[in-house]
Structure 1
Amino acid sequence: MAGDGLVDEEYRVAFERVQERLHAGDSYEVNLTHRLRVESGIEPAAAYLRLRELNPAPYAGFLQHDVPGARAWLLSSSPERFATVSTSSTSGKGSTTDGQRLLETKPIKGTTPRSDDPVVDAEHRDRLASDPRYRAENLMIVDLLRHDVASVCEVGSVEVPQLMEVESYETVHQLVSTVRGRLRSEVSTVAALRALFPAGSMTGAPKLRTMEVVDEVEASPRGAYAGAFGWVSGDGRADLGVVIRSLVTAGDGRWTVGTGGGITVLSDVVEEHAEAALKARRLLEVFTPS
C-alpha cells in the first residue's frame, strides 16, 4: 500500500492481521491499539497539571495507588463517558421517576484533527459528520451498546437520544452517540457496570469474538488502558470514564501511553496509524519542556 513507509512495522503487521479477521467474518470492527513507552523524571502530580493544561477533558482524573509492591498512578484526560447511573428524578425524554435508575453510556467512535484555520477546522468537522466510514464505525458500536444496555434494563426503555453528534475538544473532533435505559430493579449498579465492561468503543463488534481477535493481534497487554475509572456511591449512583488519553506510571520514571482506533474493511493503514498518533500527541507533549 502506498505510504506504508510512514507506518511502523509492528502496527502494519497487526493491521493486516485484523483485516484478515474482518474479511473472514470474525468481526465487523476491531479497535486496534498499541502502547508507547516514555522515560521521564517528571513527578506524577506535575505531569497531571501539565496534562490538564494541554488537553482539558470531561473525565480528567489523577488516581494514586501508593501501596508497597504495587505503586501506580493513572493520569487521565479522557473525553469519553463509560457509564453513569442516576437515581434522581429528571424530566423530558428519557426521564426517570423516584426509585428508578437511569443507565447511560456515550461511546466515541470517529476522530478528525482540529486546525488553527477556521475554514479547515470546519471541513474536518463536516467530514467527520458525513464520512460513511466514520458513521459505520459509530453505528456498529451503538448497536453493540444497545444490546449491552438492554441486557440489564427494562424492556422498551432503551433509547438513543443522541446519534453521531460531533463534539470538539482541544486537539480533535469526535463523533459521539448516547445510549441509555432504565435499569431493572433487581440489577445492582455494579452488575450494570459489569454488563457494559469493557467499553464497546474500545473492543469492537461483536464484542466477545472481537476481544479474542484483539488478544491475538496486539503485541502487549492493555493494562489500565481501555478500562474504566470513576466513582460508585453507596446510594447506587455512579459516574465513570473510559481510560483513554491517559498516562500510567509505577513512579519509576517509566510511562505508558495507550492509543489506537477502530478498524473496518474500509480502513487505510496510513490513515489509522496517523489517527492513533494524533490521539497520543498532546499526551507526549507532557514530557517536553515548556
Structure 2
Amino acid sequence: MVQVNDLPEFRKKALQWAATFDTLCYLDSNGFNDPYSKFDTLIATDARAQLTANAGNAFDQLEQFRESNPGWMTGFLGYDLKNEIEALTSANPDGLNFPDLYFFVPEHLILIKGDKAEIISDHPDQVAKAINEQVLVRSAQQSVINLKPRFSRQEYIDTVNKIKEHITRGDIYVTNFCQEFFAEDVVIEPLEIFTKLNEVSPNPFSTFFKWNGNYILGASPERFLAKRGIKLISQPIKGTAKRLDDIKADEQAKQILRNHPKELQENVMVVDLVRNDLTRSAKPGTVKTEELFGIYSFKQVHQMISTVVCEIEDNLSNVQAIKNTFPMGSMTGAPKVSCMQLMEQYERSKRGVYSGAIGYFSPDNDFDFNVVIRSLLYNSSNKYLSFHAGGAITYHAIAENEYEECLLKATAVMEVLGGTRVL
C-alpha cells in the first residue's frame, strides 16, 4: 500500500505511465458517492493473458477464460453480442472494426481508494518508482474535428416519426434509437482527449480503454450491472434535462424532470424490463426496485436513475448472470427483441462497443460493468473516429426534441474535440 500525498498528480502520472503499454483499462469514479463502488480509480495495464472473440460462442469463451484466470480481469462486451443471445443480425456500416468482446488479465493493477494506492504486481516497487519518475506532459492543441452525422436533422425527425408508428400499432412500447457522428482520416491524441473529457464531463464510470491501437474514451454516468456478494445491482438511466447556469432555473429543471410524464414513462418501462431480465438470474421473490426515479446531477445534465436489485441464484456463474441481462434494457427498449430488430432496420451504423459495457471481474467473485455511452471510439490504424448518441422513443416523444437531446448528450465530446461542430 502506497501513501499518496498529491492524489491528482499521482493519478495523472499513473495513467500516463500505464498508457505506454499496448493494453490499458482506466476506470475513474471521479469522486461520486457510489455505495457500490470498490475503489475511486482502477488502472489495469500490460496483458498477461487476453481474449478476443466475436458473436457466436463469445460468452462460452469468456466463461472458460474466466475459469482459467480467477483474479483481476478487465474488458468490454459489444452490443452486437445480441446476435449470439437472440436470433438477430448486424448488417449496418462499421468504420471501427472492433471485436464484439475483448478481455485481458493485467500484469500490473493499481487501485486508488481515498489517499492510498495499492499496487498489485510482481514488481510493485518498480511500478511505484516508474510512476513517480513520470514527468507530466500535455500534448499540442487538438485541431478542430468536424463530425459528420449519419442522419440529417430532417432524416432523423422523419425516422423517429416512423418508429412512433410502430409504437402506435403496438409492435413496441419504448425503444432506444441511436445515431452516429463520425470523422474519417483523422489523427488524435487519445490520452490528451480523454484527460480533457474527464475534466469537462467527470462521471462515475469514466473510462480510458486501449488495446492494439484502438481506443474507447468514455464519460459514462450509467452502471449496467454489478455483483456485490450475493447481490446483483442494475441502475438504468432514462430521463435527461440540461443543466442551467442560474441556480433557481437549474433546480426548476430538476423538478420538471422529476415530474415529466414522458420521462417517468420511459424510466418505469425500462425498470420493468430490467426487473424481468434480472428474474432470469435471481432467487425467486428477491427482485426489487431499491430506488425509483432518483434524480442525479452531472456537469452537463440531470439524469433520472432507478436502482433494481436481486439475490443471485445459487451456482449461477457471473458470466451467465451478465448474459441473462445483456444488452442492457436502457439501450434496447421493450419488448427487447422486437426493439433490437427494428433499430437494426432504422439505424445506419453498427453500434459495436457503443451501448455495450466495460468493466472488471475481481478476485472475490464480484464484478462491475458500465454502459458505454457518452464515449468516443477511435481506430488509430484506419484513423476513424466515432461516437453515438441516442434517446428513448415513446408514444409521447416529440421528434424535434429527441434530436436536440442527442446533441445535448454530445456536448462534452464536441467541446473536447476543439469546439467541434456537426456538419
- TM-score, normalized by length of structure 1? 0.89
Mapped to 2, the partners of 1:135 and 1:9 lie a distance apart of: 27
Q: Is 1:75–2:75 an aligned residue pair?
A: no
Provide the aligned length of Structure 1 versus Structure 2: 267
The answer as to whether partners of 1:229 and 1:240 remain within 8 angstroms in 2 is yes
What's the counterpart of residue 227 of structure 1? 356
The answer as to whether partners of 1:73 and 1:248 remain within 8 angstroms in 2 is yes
What's the counterpart of residue 398 of structure 2? 268
Mapped to 2, the partners of 1:85 and 1:10 lie a distance apart of: 41
What's the counterpart of residue 181 of structure 2? 36
Q: CA deviation at 1:234?
A: 4.1
Mapped to 1, the partners of 2:215 and 2:341 lie a distance apart of: 28
Other structure's SS at 1:288 match = coil
Which 5+ residue runs of structure 2 have no aligned equivalent?
1-151
Other structure's SS at 1:74 match = strand
Letter in 2 for 1:102: K
What's the counterpart of residue 51 of structure 1? 197
Matching residue within 179, 201, 226 for 1:84: 226
Other structure's SS at 1:57 match = coil
Q: CA deviation at 1:223?
A: 1.3
Q: Is 1:286–2:416 an aligned residue pair?
A: yes
Q: CA deviation at 1:140?
A: 0.2
Structure 1, residues 228-283: CA drift from partner, whole Å, max 9, x if none?
01101243210110000100000144311110100001000111100111000111
Letter in 1 for 2:190: P
Q: CA deviation at 1:38?
A: 3.2
The answer as to whether partners of 1:159 and 1:181 remain within 8 angstroms in 2 is yes
Q: Is 1:24–2:163 an aligned residue pair?
A: no
Structure 1, residues 38-82: CA drift from partner, whole Å, max 9, x if none?
35432111111011011000001111111xxxx411011100001
Q: Mean Cα displacement is larger for which, 127-136 or 226-235?
A: 226-235
What's the counterpart of residue 98 of structure 1? none
Q: How does 1:87-102 map to 2 (within 5 A)?
A: 87=229, 101-102=230-231
Seen in structure 2, the aligned counterparts of structure 1 residues 72 and 10 have a Cα distance that, compared at 3 Å, is: farther
Letter in 1 for 2:157: R
Letter in 2 for 1:227: G
Aligned-pair Cα RMSD in Å? 1.4
Name the structure, 1 or 2, with higher relative contact order (CA <8 Å, separation 6+): 1
The answer as to whether partners of 1:17 and 1:217 remain within 8 angstroms in 2 is no
Q: CA deviation at 1:23?
A: 1.1
Mapped to 1, the partners of 2:384 and 2:191 lie a distance apart of: 15
Letter in 2 for 1:214: M
What's the counterpart of residue 62 of structure 1? 208
Other structure's SS at 1:85 match = strand
Letter in 2 for 1:78: S
Mapped to 2, the partners of 1:197 and 1:84 lie a distance apart of: 13
Mapped to 2, the partners of 1:225 and 1:185 lie a distance apart of: 31
Matching residue within 311, 315, 319 for 1:186: 315
Q: CA deviation at 1:289?
A: 6.3
Mapped to 2, the partners of 1:25 and 1:185 lie a distance apart of: 37
What's the counterpart of residue 264 of structure 2? 135
Letter in 1 for 2:409: K
Q: Is 1:217–2:352 an aligned residue pair?
A: no
- TM-score, normalized by length of structure 2? 0.62
What's the counterpart of residue 93 of structure 1? none
What's the counterpart of residue 331 of structure 2? 202
Q: How does 1:111-122 map to 2 (within 5 A)?
A: 111-122=240-251
Mapped to 2, the partners of 1:257 and 1:245 lie a distance apart of: 8
Structure 1, residues 140-176: CA drift from partner, whole Å, max 9, x if none?
0000000001111001111111000100000000000
Compare CA radii of gyration and give the structure with the larger one: 2
The answer as to whether partners of 1:188 and 1:236 remain within 8 angstroms in 2 is no
The answer as to whether partners of 1:31 and 1:262 remain within 8 angstroms in 2 is yes
Which 5+ residue runs of structure 1 have no aligned equivalent?
1-6, 88-100
Letter in 2 for 1:174: Q
Mapped to 1, the partners of 2:320 and 2:388 lie a distance apart of: 27
The answer as to whether partners of 1:56 and 1:170 remain within 8 angstroms in 2 is yes
What's the counterpart of residue 148 of structure 1? 277
Q: Is 1:8–2:153 an aligned residue pair?
A: yes
The answer as to whether partners of 1:60 and 1:76 remain within 8 angstroms in 2 is yes
Mapped to 2, the partners of 1:10 and 1:64 lie a distance apart of: 34
The answer as to whether partners of 1:106 and 1:179 remain within 8 angstroms in 2 is yes
Other structure's SS at 1:178 match = strand
Letter in 2 for 1:276: C
Q: Is 1:107–2:252 an aligned residue pair?
A: no
